[in-house]
Structure 1
């Protein structure tokens, strides 16, 4: 899920992922020779009358992909919100092919400044500091099946998407949008995150990512094969339920079964090293999510 922003004067347009799982803004630049940069819009600081250079460097590693670059300041416009002197990264290298075929140019991070590389002030922190938003929160709706209508709303909650009420969850750390999860169950049986775990709400991750040890259990209880292959018939499959702060958040089979281009289906779960759970787009399509900086909490409201 991505949208357009402009950087510079006059504005140069970039498509970015609005990523709650990172905190830096960066775009490809004319300084970049990586193959990933050849396919994308490149920021040219020489064409902007408001650009200010620095001698500071930037290096970011994501779950997939990485970049290095330099930091600069310029005017950034996100929809109708204009931030002058916003610090951002101009990529110099984007190694590998992760970003080569991506439909987006760069990334706009929406996590806490504590995890921002090179201590660069995040975009939303500047919106808050300069009173550019009515409330110090933003909210995200992700549509299903590639339908139109996905949005990120800065400074407001759209009541059209909260008719079922909002469940508020305090953050367990002000780094990512991180919460404590008590367990994950299927048919009332705890199958993973036994004894509790940490989970982050991450718009920049497609699937639900779980620790390696949990994936086999989840596949087994949801009826998937060893490579995650699963029948496309979702009718009789159980929900997987995430128990967070005393509340139950159901993820139905219609959401965790992902149809591939070839017509086969796979489970919308992946694994990685470490103990962190990542509730990515597979989860966030089911819940309208609200990210509240004033109260260091997230709100979830079931959609549809």
Structure 2
């Protein structure tokens, strides 16, 4: 019995030993598998790190190559910008990714004050603010008989020489279809050459004391004194009959009167300057110099009453406009020396008239006092040695005196003889007209805002 128990115990011990041995074998096999898997992961990790390092290396090389290309482009650009490589640049431009466009440059170009004024006017129209506050047109004196200035019409500019005329309110220049002799002798306006021309077609006909013109109206940009007025109505003449404008030194007329005097009641140039804010003050001034040469011409000033350069003063005597149309006012009296010629009489300032005109009743008194001989044309001649009394005009209580000697005009007859005529002439017109013979001694301000005229003595 005891033997059986011992045998059973021995079998149990053997079973336990065999079981433990088997378990140890399984454990060793699992460890090897884990080690193998761990090694595989480590290999994969090393391979991944290697790949990343390789990619970084490739990116670095790529960046270096791009940087080198950029450096080469900059060097090539620098070479192209130099005069030596200009031809090479033109040859390779078709292969480049950019285009170079040359800018025109005019050598030896000299900018004038007119260029600057026009540029300011252009900026004012583009940006809606007024850079140009005033404008001055130089007047050219033609033998003390005509004072002209430059004006242009259209885009690009077509240039004209015009007569500033406060006795009318319209602008006109010869047209391309005018066959009159006067048109053929002067510059004409070509609508087809202007990109800003606007057809109107309204008939235009005006009669002056010395002639007449006919045509039709149009719109375009009119520039004078560096001030460009857009959509300005003006007339293109088709006829300029007779000889009145044949020998004129000007191409056309620049009317500076009131709108009510305009043939078709169009807005005047000065009105549009004010509306388009090209000038600060709605006024203009005229100063003329005597002497009969262009160097003693004068100025037409828009937007200012500052005539110091010509009058020596900014002190003016103002008188109200009594009737809008002409620049009409009340002349309180005219004296020849100490002799009173006439008392209160309506008068006007007319820059388009060369002389001083008076109605017949007043002219007869003046002729008698100064002792001149009237001709069939209405002029009054005398010997140049004859003494003439001073002429005095009373305006707003102030006396404006013109030396008698300065009221003479030297002229040459057909026989070559030199005689003198008076600046006074007879005209069947109710107003006394103070033309250039007056303005050349007194700068005159035409104030549209306050409807008044101002006078200052010229130096």
Corresponding residue number in structure 2 for 1:203: 351
Shift of 1:281: 0.5
- The answer to whether residue 388 in structure 2 is matched with residue 233 in structure 1 is no
- The answer to whether residue 422 in structure 2 is matched with residue 267 in structure 1 is yes
Corresponding residue number in structure 2 for 1:295: 450
Compare the two structures and name the one with the higher strand fraction.
1
Q: 1:85 to 1:5 in 2, by over 3 A?
A: same
- The answer to whether residue 327 in structure 2 is matched with residue 177 in structure 1 is yes
In structure 1, how many angstroms separate the alpha carbons of the residues matched to 2:449 and 2:258? 12
Q: Any idea what SS the aligned residue of 1:23 has?
A: coil
Conserved 8 A contact 1:26-1:91 = yes
In structure 2, how many angstroms separate the alpha carbons of the residues matched to 1:294 and 1:254? 37
Corresponding residue number in structure 1 for 2:197: 51
- Select the residue among 163, 173, 179 that pairs with 2:312: 163
Gaps of 5+ in 2: 1-146
- Select the residue among 319, 327, 336 that pairs with 1:186: 336
Could you give the per-residue CA deviations for residues 188-211 of structure 1, whole angstroms, max 9, x where no partner exists?
A: 32223x4x2111101100000110
In structure 1, how many angstroms separate the alpha carbons of the residues matched to 2:391 and 2:362? 13
Q: Any idea what SS the aligned residue of 1:119 has?
A: coil
Greater mean deviation of Cα atoms: 153-162 or 22-31: 153-162
Could you give the per-residue CA deviations for residues 187-240 of structure 1, whole angstroms, max 9, x where no partner exists?
A: 332223x4x211110110000011022212111111222331123236x53111
Q: Any idea what SS the aligned residue of 2:393 has?
A: strand
Shift of 1:10: 1.0
- Select the residue among 432, 435, 439 that pairs with 1:284: 439
Greater relative contact order: 1 or 2 (C-alpha under 8 angstroms, separation 6 or more)?
Answer: 1
In structure 2, how many angstroms separate the alpha carbons of the residues matched to 1:70 and 1:225? 43
In structure 2, how many angstroms separate the alpha carbons of the residues matched to 1:44 and 1:146? 33
Alignment of 1:92-107 (within 5 A): 92-107=238-253
- The answer to whether residue 376 in structure 2 is matched with residue 221 in structure 1 is no
Could you give the per-residue CA deviations for residues 39-79 of structure 1, whole angstroms, max 9, x where no partner exists?
A: 01111101111101113111111121111110000011102
Q: Any idea what SS the aligned residue of 1:120 has?
A: coil
Compare the two structures and name the one with the higher helix fraction.
2
In structure 2, how many angstroms separate the alpha carbons of the residues matched to 1:103 and 1:285? 19
Shift of 1:295: 1.0
- The alignment covers a number of residue pairs equal to 301
- Select the residue among 156, 164, 183 that pairs with 1:18: 164
In structure 2, how many angstroms separate the alpha carbons of the residues matched to 1:278 and 1:120? 25
Conserved 8 A contact 2:287-2:307 = no
Q: Any idea what SS the aligned residue of 1:146 has?
A: coil
Conserved 8 A contact 1:67-1:91 = yes
Shift of 1:259: 1.1
Conserved 8 A contact 1:255-1:286 = no
Corresponding residue number in structure 1 for 2:32: none
Shift of 1:161: 3.1
In structure 2, how many angstroms separate the alpha carbons of the residues matched to 1:134 and 1:123? 15
- The answer to whether residue 154 in structure 2 is matched with residue 8 in structure 1 is yes
In structure 1, how many angstroms separate the alpha carbons of the residues matched to 2:311 and 2:240? 39
Alignment of 1:15-164 (within 5 A): 15-147=161-293, 148=295, 149-156=297-304, 157-164=306-313
Could you give the per-residue CA deviations for residues 63-111 of structure 1, whole angstroms, max 9, x where no partner exists?
A: 2111111000001110210011110000011111101111100000001
In structure 2, how many angstroms separate the alpha carbons of the residues matched to 1:187 and 1:204? 27
